[in-house]
Amino acid sequence: MRTAIDVGGTFTDVAAWDGAHLRTGKVTTTSDQSEGVIAGLAAHSRHGARLVHGTTAATNAVLQRSGARTILVTDAGFEDLIEIGRQDRPSLYDLDATRTTPLVPRGDRVGVSGRARPGVSGERIAGLDEVAERVAGLDPEAVAVSLLYAFEHGGRELEVAAALASRLPGIPISISSEVVAEFREYERLSTTVLNAYLVPVVAAYLERLATVVTDVGVVGPPSVMRSSGGLTSLETAARLPTSIVLSGPAGGVVASSALGTALGVRSVISFDMGGTSTDVCRIEGGRPLVAYERAIDGLPCLMPAVAIHTVGAGGGSVAWVDSGGALRVGPRSAGALPGPASYGRGGVEPTVTDADLVVGRIGSDVRLGGTVDLDEAAALRAMAGLTAPTGLSADAVALGVIEVVEAHMERAVRKVSVAQGVDPRDSILVAFGGAGGLHATALARRLDMAGVVIPAHAGVFSAVGLLLAAPRADAARSVLLRTGEALDAYARQVVVEAIAALGANGHDAETVAVLADVRYLGQSHETSVPYRIGDGWDALAAAFHDAHLRVNGFARRGDPIEVATIRAEAIARPELVWSELPEHVPAGEAERGARTVLTTGGVVDARVVWRSGLAPGAEVVGPAVIEEPESTTFLGARECARMHDTGALEVSW
């Protein structure tokens, strides 16, 4: 028996599998996430289950800047690299743009002498006792060590760490050669600092969680979802919290991949709209796109993560009017407390959920997430608060909020498709999350996509993905090769590292994939391409040229190439696969009457259907509202949803 719990900004989702049946549910997210986890286990799990966890503990610590006081130890003369960064201009014409404040202020950065040279391990470091004394005098809660060329030779960092550990017993020390052995000093340093900053907070949360869940019948240590879409041990997550920053959203991507494969769909875009944000990710051939560098609130992080693009557009996103009189939505969210005005918890600001309630997409008699009674009058009052600055009626404001939030989400889908040279018209939108089905068809039709799939258990689909995830370990090493002489030797070395890391967590590798980050000589960015050991340099070059043409629109097949980094992914066998989930069996009466829904074309009479009552093959033609315990789907006029054997709704128009 396994229970998966995914913590979101508004709700904590639960999916429990006992070998034959899948039970799902939601509870309200708590400020201390472990309290919500306990509530979810008590309400929906059974004694004797093992826990699989998707957490936002690391993400929240970054966003709220609530991590540990961290001291940075780096080469003398490079203490300010964390602040200098790159000469990127994300807002080229914004005169008020500000850079992200470093996690380590200037006074907490310590330089060491004896700089290494490329290709050699470097001389022994002089004055380490003085360095350790200085660091100790700064009263650190964590220490990050990142030295030049440590991606080639980590010995100097180990020497520094040993001196610090003898002077600072019990203080966690992160060294870059163990956190991320990749070149580009600034990004490696940033990742190491971020890891050190998060270790005390995340480790304390996970240790507390492991203790308290035993009181409600959990057996064995919990597993934690990695950002890359696989499971890891509690100990590894506590040591490398940068690997779980996208822990929760990755579950939905895993589940979308499995569903797309089951439906025989090659190109899928997952669309997860929750209470706080919307996450989208492109999936090709059952494999999610994985990014090996991303920024977390402006802080570069080199840990592999499913290539999710997030926008602050969820059910709890607050609507407001800017200084120019334009209606805006998000990124600020009402969260779980006080939540949208309609939650009746003291919230008064209008949100997307309030707008959906006012127009009738959500029924006033619905218990949101199965736990929250809605107050339609409060939602109307919140919308009325924007009538004066916009000059619109409350109903028109609600429609405007929906239009604005759907425009935000459209741009997000374009970011993972059109902006990467992929035509979204060839893709299916897999929509889930508590609010995903309410806006999915309008979004897909804006982009002329091939269709929409609303999976079974859509409201807790990310938690279902945690159950389907396999244990995984990643390894990477920057090599900077211009010939194939040592290519296979390095690839085997990285494979051994990944398999060993997976084995350290108690799992055997079922599949191992090797990827190479390749670029044209002199190019400033790389393209990751799969590589099979033994194929050789020419085969890798051909694969790179093809990938570069597909992504960037051109290839220079006669130009020399360089392999910057070699990566390996070791994946164990998952304990649950999609085919083992039970087929949909209708239960209860499908017809729930009708209600009026306000649309941009006027008021329509929408059929109300209870999803569980639909048999495989049944069709629902819009305008219609399809309700279920954890989410709601809205179908516009002439949109048709057909129930698949898996319990998924396939929507076409």
pLDDT (0 to 100) of residue 358: 97
pLDDT (0 to 100) of residue 124: 67
Give the mean model confidence (pLDDT) for residues 455-469. Answer: 95
Of the pLDDT bands very low, low, confident and very high (cuts 50, 70, 90), residue 123 is: low
Of the pLDDT bands very low, low, confident and very high (cuts 50, 70, 90), residue 371 is: confident
pLDDT of residue 29 exceeding 90, the answer is no
pLDDT (0 to 100) of residue 512: 97
pLDDT of residue 10 exceeding 90, the answer is no
Q: What is the pLDDT of residues 570-586, one digit of tens each?
A: 999 999 999 999 888 89
CA angle 212, 215, 219 (to 5 degrees): 90
3-state secondary structure 405-464: HHHHHHHHHHHCCHHHCCCHHHCEEEEECCCHHHHHHHHHHHCCCCEEEECCCHHHHHHH
Give the mean model confidence (pLDDT) for residues 29-34. Answer: 88
pLDDT of residue 149 exceeding 80, the answer is yes
Rounded to the nearest integer, the mean pLDDT of the chain is 93
pLDDT (0 to 100) of residue 499: 98
pLDDT (0 to 100) of residue 121: 55
Q: What is the pLDDT of residues 164-194, one digit of tens each?
A: 999 999 999 999 999 999 999 999 999 999 9
Of 32-36, 201-205, 285-289, 329-333, which has the strongest mean pLDDT? 201-205
Quote the percentage of the chain above a pLDDT of 70: 98
In the chain the domains, ranked by start, together with CATH numbers, are: 70-202 (no CATH), 317-404 (no CATH), 472-573 (3.30.1490), 591-652 (no CATH)
pLDDT of residue 139 exceeding 60, the answer is yes
Q: Are 606 and 625 in contact (CB under 8 A)?
A: yes
**Residue 115 structure tokens:** 């700089």
Question: Does the predicted model carry a pTM greater than 0.85?
Answer: yes
Q: What is the pLDDT of residues 108-119, one digit of tens each?
A: 999 998 766 665
Of the pLDDT bands very low, low, confident and very high (cuts 50, 70, 90), residue 366 is: confident
pLDDT of residue 122 exceeding 60, the answer is no
Of the pLDDT bands very low, low, confident and very high (cuts 50, 70, 90), residue 484 is: very high
Of the pLDDT bands very low, low, confident and very high (cuts 50, 70, 90), residue 120 is: low
Q: What is the pLDDT of residues 623-645, one digit of tens each?
A: 999 999 889 999 999 999 999 98
Q: What is the pLDDT of residues 391-432, one digit of tens each?
A: 999 999 999 999 999 999 999 999 999 888 889 999 999 999
The Cα 103–Cα 109 span in angstroms is: 11
Q: Which residues of 256-294 are buried (b: 16+ CB within 10 A; e: fewer)?
A: bbbbbbbbebebbbbbbbbbbbbbbbbbeeeebbbbbbb
Token pair 């939108």 is at which residue? 429
Of the pLDDT bands very low, low, confident and very high (cuts 50, 70, 90), residue 89 is: confident
Give the mean model confidence (pLDDT) for residues 324-342. Answer: 90
Quote the percentage of the chain above a pLDDT of 90: 79
Q: What is the pLDDT of residues 224-238, one digit of tens each?
A: 999 999 999 999 999
Among 405, 413, 293, residue whose Cα is nearest residue 354: 405
pLDDT of residue 266 exceeding 70, the answer is yes
Give the mean model confidence (pLDDT) for residues 503-515. Answer: 95
Query: What is the enclosing helix (H) or strand (E) of 204?
Result: helix 185-212
